[in-house]
Amino acid sequence: MTNKTALITGANKSIGYETARQLGKLGYRVLLGARDLERGRSAAQALVAEGLDIRPLSIDVTDEASIRDAAAWVSDHDGKLDILINNAGIPGRQPVAPSEQGVDDIRAIYETNVFGPIRVTQAFLPLLKAAERANIVMVSSGLGSLGWLSDPANMFFGVNILGYNSSKTALNAVTVAFAKELADTAIKVNAADPGYTATDFNGHTGYRTVEQAAAGIVWLATLDASGPNGAFYFEQTQVPW
């Protein structure tokens, strides 16, 4: 065991769940975040049955009170947090042309994908600062890369989804802002692109497995002091902002 604790939001299934499994296998105590505690409990139970140290934690990233309660629970039980993975995310209505995507839909996407990670990071920062050193990973997307989206040769060039893509571009900007603020601390903040992965998110049309997606997130989550800060990675290759 590492005596280190990781929190993953939206970990009751898919990429977050597999990330919990991989960190659990590395000896971390994992707080498996779920907005529905029953779904969280049954997901945690399945990983505990594999011999891992996993606890469900109720956290809805759109709900301030839920985030505050979750941070208070971690403060009371562990007093620190070594890894925060802002994984919870939603796609919004797809496919729809940018000219037809309503602001209400876009606002809902931003509540989860942008304001969620900001709220959670702010609430858990005192606990991350209490750790000897800590890593924050923002689970972004290649669809948030303006470099890729504006390159006609890139496979994502034609994927023009206003709400989702811009939410991940905003999350990348959030990553840079926190990384700069925390540059003189023992906390690193990076963004991960899990790649197009077969999950409920896309009706299992992705060509990557959750094991492949989680591996890159786990790499950023377990960086030592020599690792990068304020960068964006697919697997271990840097992605243009």
Question: Which spans of this chain sit near ligand NAP (rule: CB under 6 A)?
Answer: 9-10, 12-16, 35-36, 39, 60-62, 87-90, 112, 139, 141, 194, 196-197, 199-202, 206
* Angle subtended at Cα 51 by Cα 46 and Cα 222, rounded to the nearest 5 degrees: 95
Min dist. Cβ of residue 176 to ligand NAP (A)? 18
Q: Any idea which residue has 């797809």 for tokens?
A: 94
Min dist. Cβ of residue 3 to ligand NAP (A)? 26
- Residue 1 vs 158, nearer CB to ligand NAP: 158
- Residue 132 vs 173, nearer CB to ligand NAP: 173
Phi, psi angles (nearest 5°) of residue 41 = -60, -45
Q: Which of 28, 110, 164, 196 is catalytic?
A: 164
- The Cα 236–Cα 144 span in angstroms is 17
Min dist. Cβ of residue 209 to ligand NAP (A)? 11
**Total length of the chain:** 241
- Residue 5 vs 12, nearer CB to ligand NAP: 12
- The Cα 31–Cα 120 span in angstroms is 14
Q: Is 233 a catalytic residue?
A: no
Q: Which residue is nearest to ligand NAP (CB)?
A: 89
Min dist. Cβ of residue 216 to ligand NAP (A)? 11
- Residue 108 vs 130, nearer CB to ligand NAP: 108
Q: Which of 110, 168, 188, 196 is catalytic?
A: 168
* 3-state SS assignment for residue 171: helix
Termini Cα distance of the chain: 36
Q: Is the peptide bond before 117 cis (omega within 30 degrees of 0)?
A: no
Q: Is 168 a catalytic residue?
A: yes
CB atoms within 10 A of CB 51: 9
Q: Would you name the residues annotated as active-site residues?
A: 164, 168
